[in-house]
Amino acid sequence: MKKRSICILVGILLFARMYSLDVNTFCKHYFNEDSYTLYEIDYEDTLVYVAYSTFETVFTRRIVAFYQEEQKIIPILYVDGYLIENNESIIANNPMPNNSFYAWKLKISNGILYLTPYSNNGKNVTDPIKLKRNPETKTYEIRRIDPSMY
């Protein structure tokens, strides 16, 4: 599984860095022409795009976050099924180990991505994963959410 993820990550990075693509062309290639939603987050130093495909109107299994630098697309976060990866490594793997993963619900608030995992065809849910952008590395990192705060 780890080899597969690394191959996918390397392939996407090579694809993105080899071609100067505009944002919509990159998304069309990434999502294989499937429909997608594109969201812009304007951080102080960078405009980051978050693209995701949806099904059943609220669920997603594929998300990519990236920015443009000198007309090149620089991916910084990938969600493919239950794997969450940044440029450096897998940062989350199988958030519901005792259940079969179904999909995510994505919420974006104040530049923070909240991914809520669902299992059992969307009937079971667990605590969301909070992804916050690190401005020094320009990648996303997991921040733990204290369930007592909500």
**Structure confidence at residue 77 as a pLDDT band (50, 70, 90):** very high
**Domains in the chain: how many in total?**
1
Note if the pTM is more than 0.85: no
Distance CA 10, CA 75 (A): 11
Residues 37-64, buried b or exposed e (16+ Cβ, 10 A)? eeeebeeeeeebbbbbbbeeeebbbbbb
Q: What is the pLDDT of residues 26-67, one digit of tens each?
A: 999 899 877 899 999 999 889 999 999 988 888 999 999 999
Q: Average pLDDT, stretch 88-97?
A: 79
